[in-house]
Amino acid sequence: MFPHIDVIIPCYNAEKTLARAVESVLNQPCLGKIWLIDDASADNTFALAQKWAKDCPERIGVEKMPLNGGVAKARNWGALQSTNEFIAFLDADDAYEPGALEVAAATFHFQPDTSVVRLALKPIGLASRYVEHPNFDFAWQHMRMTCGGNMVFRRAFFLACGGFPQDALFRELGGEDGALGIATTRIGKVATLFDEVGVLHYCRAGMHAERLLEAILFQKTAEGVTEEKMAQANAVTDEICRRMEALKCGLNSQQIGIRPLILTRSEA
């Protein structure tokens, strides 16, 4: 009844956590295919991925990037391998709860104007200094709305957006998830399922969530984040929106089909 969803997992030196992620996806009734995209790992990640693909070729595909290009490029490459109408992104150190893809698939089925579904994002092992802060819920809402690992897309919409931005700025500071995530809220319907089953977000020291929480809860800006670089990141979001508005203009044109044009040039 519900559509199947391909799941793209970018992997970089993820041999210790990847099995947990893969097993959580294989247990999803609405799974189409898993795409494991190894981003030139230096450990046994690629060998493990190949073994799973050999054992379950109809459900797992593996790609290896020739050079480490970052999570955005790995995710985008996975989206290009998929031919499914719907794709989800899961980080290699996280895991789905049972039924997570099913609630996303149901949303697309019953509300077909939905472009993106954001699943619940549940922190596991997050330091008490964050969890016990009186404004934690407010801060974690920002994480749920800017994380890439809880997003499920209509694939055509994702590709039209240009995928996750691969600008050098984001390779330096991170934030490509947020740049795309903010853009989607401006140009499409984003359904949030934060009271349902979703993604278990396993926390570790130094992870992106900590930088975001430090900024919101303790007003501590991450090293290297300047007003100029924030402006650059916002410009990327604006450009995604501009391209999508231009695409909408063409798709909504009343002049469908071949329209021969004659160009005229004015004398200077």
Mean pLDDT, consecutive 10-residue stretches, the chain (268 aa), reads: 96 97 97 98 98 95 97 98 98 98 98 98 96 97 96 98 94 90 97 98 89 93 86 96 95 92 84
Residue 142 near residue 190 (C-beta atoms within 8 A): no
Residue 244 near residue 161 (C-beta atoms within 8 A): yes
Residue 88 Cα to chain centre, angstroms: 7
The pLDDT of residue 229 is: 92
Nearest to 181 by CA among 200, 153, 202: 153
47-65 in b/e burial notation, b at 16+ Cβ within 10 A? ebbeebbeeeeeebbbbbb
72-103 in b/e burial notation, b at 16+ Cβ within 10 A? bbbbbbbbeebebebbbbbbbbbbbbebbbbb
Q: What are the φ and ψ backbone dihedral angles of 128, each rounded to 5 degrees?
A: -65, -25
The pLDDT of residue 62 is: 98
Q: What is the CA radius of gyration of the chain?
A: 20
Q: State which CATH number among 3.40.50.720, 3.40.50.10470, 3.90.550.10, 3.40.50.300 fits the domain covering 5-251.
A: 3.90.550.10
What is the pTM assigned to this prediction? 0.95
Amino acid (1-letter code) at residue 90: L
The pLDDT of residue 268 is: 63
Distance in angstroms (rounded) separating the CA atoms of residues 247 and 97? 36
3-state SS, residue 49: helix
Terminal-to-terminal C-alpha distance of the chain: 63
The pLDDT of residue 203 is: 94
